[in-house]
Amino acid sequence: MPISIETQITAVTVYTDRALVVRQGQIQLDGTERQLKISNLPTTLDPASVRVSGKGSVAVKLQGVTTDRQYTTEPVADRIAQLTAQLDRLGAEKRRLQAQIDTTKLQANFIQGLREKTQESFARSLARQQIGLADAQNFLDFIGTKTTEYAFAGEDLRQQQQQIDKQLQSLRLQLEEVETPYSQESFEITIAISILEGYANEPSGAGNFQVELSYVVARAHWTPLYDLRVQSTNKNIQLDYLAEICQTTGEDWADVSLTLSTAKPGLGTLPPKLDPWYIDLSVPMMLRQRGVSAGTARVMEAAPAAPMSVGASFDRSEVAEEPNEYLAETVVADMSQQGSIVTFQLGGGGNIPSDGNPHKATIFSDNFPCQLAYVAMPRLVSFAYLQATAKNRSDGATLLLGKANIFRDEVFVGTSNLENTAPGQEIKLNLGIDEGIKIDRELSERQVDKTFLAGNRRITYAYRIKLTNLLDRVNHIQINDQIPHSRTEQIKIKLLKISPQIQPGELGRLVWELDLPANGKMEINYQFSIEHPEGVQVQGLDV
């Protein structure tokens, strides 16, 4: 009869769509054992991936490994009640978020309606000089700020709902698995062994034996996650590289050595084979055949990961002012890279329950000096958008594609996707509107020639863009504007004056790169003319 071995998970390597689990257990052999068994393994286990090894004070030969499904009857009422309570709680949270989304949508619609209803009245009031330009600008700034605020708020709430939907889906899957009270399915591993007498430390063949079992499980994955904190005063980006780990494998990973890998072991080692692509005359009930052979892909054999421990240490340079107090440290990962595969070893202490919830682990933190600059499109909006540009260290880690939470001076700006960034590549972050830069664009001239030149009418336009730096530091800004671009030879556009002097780009694009002095002002002026035949109506002249 097989002898049972109690094992525990000691190491886990998480891939992007599965995980490699390593279990270890010990048993005292008396020399008569012929079979060992390890029970209650999860159904997410891939039987083809099972590997067994061992060592001990007695010489043992592993003769074979068998994987069988087992069915047991266990009470599930408590588990169903627990999952149902979790579903109810998350459902209530989702409804609360939906109420906030609806409120934000109503607020955004109100602002949109306010803009549409007041557009004509504001134009008439300006023309009659019933309100000043400053009042009109303040109102436009209010409309723009609130529109952006509600857009960011709505997007953040929708992303929270998406996370809850993922958790609800995971819990429903778990509930489906436990709602059948008649039988519970699991895997059992049976290991056939023989004692090599004459090699044991004791004549009877008795001794201690440690078994190590590894297998691949589904329903586990990890994704990169970033917290990017930009400090505008010292021009620095603090990057926290995190991993978001989720698993519903059916077994909890408690106090394990955790490793994250970008390898894709499920794709096999051989490329697919193309079958012939046949075409023929159309005949009833005849199907065109086009396919790819679906040969069974074998899971690559992975060496069991050795348990690792991470020692805790304190840097006395970070001791707080009060005696005997230390700043908490975060355990970070050891990174290694072979080709395109990146591995992060987080060490011991990993605790990832099989609950489907995202669990975060810090891979590393780093600081990057950055350059701050502004970009503005005065023809579209009267705001300047702040951007930060930094460079990944040439000897640093590859930043994988993932979601990034962006903070500016400890204020949450929003979320974005950080692109795959290799060492030495540039990182660019959009930090939203900065009201420290004030921009006014106005039509300073519109002149229609009273005489016709060769049957053409000429209209001259001039624009003035006023830039005000309200901050006590020099700021670089890129101003993007444009003049019309003609699609026909009958309409001719000519740039007459421009200051500061630049060369127009394609399709009439005007781009100025300027350094605004601290608490200073600058002005941009340009003038252009449009000539078209008399009696021809010009479309798109919304200047």
pLDDT digits (tens, 9 = 90+) for 153-169: 888 898 998 999 999 99
Q: What's residue 304's pLDDT? A: 34
Counting Cβ atoms within 10 Å, is residue 175 exposed (0-12), middle (13-18) or buried (19+)?
middle
Condensed to tens digits (0 to 9), the pLDDT of residues 244-273 reads 999 999 999 999 999 999 887 765 555 656
For residue 363 the two structure tokens come to: 């891979």
| Mean pLDDT along residues 428-443 | 90
DSSP 202-270: STT--EEEEEEEEEEESSEEEEEEEEEEEETTTTEEEEEEEEEEEE-SSS-EEEEEEEEE---GGG-SS
pLDDT band with cut points at 50, 70 and 90 for residue 32: confident
User: What pLDDT, on the 0 to 100 scale, is given for residue 323?
Assistant: 46
Worst-scoring range by mean pLDDT, 81-90, 315-324, 419-428, 471-480?
315-324
Name the strand (E) or helix (H) holding 540: none
Instruction: State the Cα–Cα distance between residues 150 and 114, nearest whole angstrom.
Output: 14
User: Which pLDDT belongs to residue 340?
Assistant: 66
Q: How far apart are the first and last CA of the chain?
A: 90
The pLDDT assigned to 143 comes to: 81
Is the CATH number of domain 437-533 3.10.20?
no
Give the residue from 452, 409, 450 showing the smallest Cα distance to 431: 409
Most confident of 170-174, 486-490, 494-498: 494-498
- State both tokens at 193: 């062994």
Give every CB contact of residue 324 below 8 A, 6+ residues apart in sequence.
none
> Residue 517: what pLDDT?
94
- pLDDT given at position 456: 81
Domain locations in the chain as residue ranges: 77-178, 437-533
Please indicate, yes or no, whether the overall pTM of this predicted structure exceeds 0.85: no
Percent of the chain exceeding pLDDT 90 equals 37
pLDDT in tens, 515-542: 999 999 999 999 999 888 877 778 777 6
Confidence of residue 510 (pLDDT cuts 50, 70, 90): very high
Q: What is the pLDDT of residues 89-138, one digit of tens each?
A: 999 998 998 999 889 888 888 888 877 777 777 677 767 766 767 777 77
Q: Which amino acid is at 29?
A: L
Per-residue confidence (pLDDT) for residue 468, from 0 to 100: 94
119: DSSP letter: H
In angstroms, the CA 427 to CA 421 distance is 7
pLDDT computed for residue 273 by the predictor = 60
AA identity, residue 391: K
Q: Are 95 and 102 in contact (CB under 8 A)?
A: no
pLDDT for the residue numbered 312: 30
DSSP category for residue 321 = S
For residue 262, count other CB atoms closer than 10 A to its CB.
Answer: 16
What local confidence, expressed as pLDDT, does residue 528 receive? 92
> 364 with 242: CB under 8 angstroms?
no
- Flag whether pLDDT at 482 surpasses 60: yes
Tell me the pLDDT tens digit for each residue of 267-315.
555 565 666 666 555 444 433 333 333 333 333 333 333 333 323 332 3
Q: 92-98 long-range contacts, Cβ below 8 Å, gap at least 24?
A: 93/164, 94/161, 94/164, 94/165, 94/168, 97/157, 97/160, 97/161, 97/164, 98/161
**What is the per-residue pLDDT for 43?**
93
Question: What whole-number distance in Å separates Cα of residue 30 and Cα of residue 28?
Answer: 7
Q: 491 pLDDT exceeds 50?
A: yes
Average pLDDT over all residues of the chain: 81
The C-alpha atoms of residue 215 and residue 132 are separated, in whole angstroms, by 74
- Write down the residue that tokens 């002095």 correspond to: 517
- Residues 139 and 405: their CA atoms lie apart, in Å, by 30
User: Do 334 and 345 contact (CB within 8 A), yes or no?
Assistant: yes
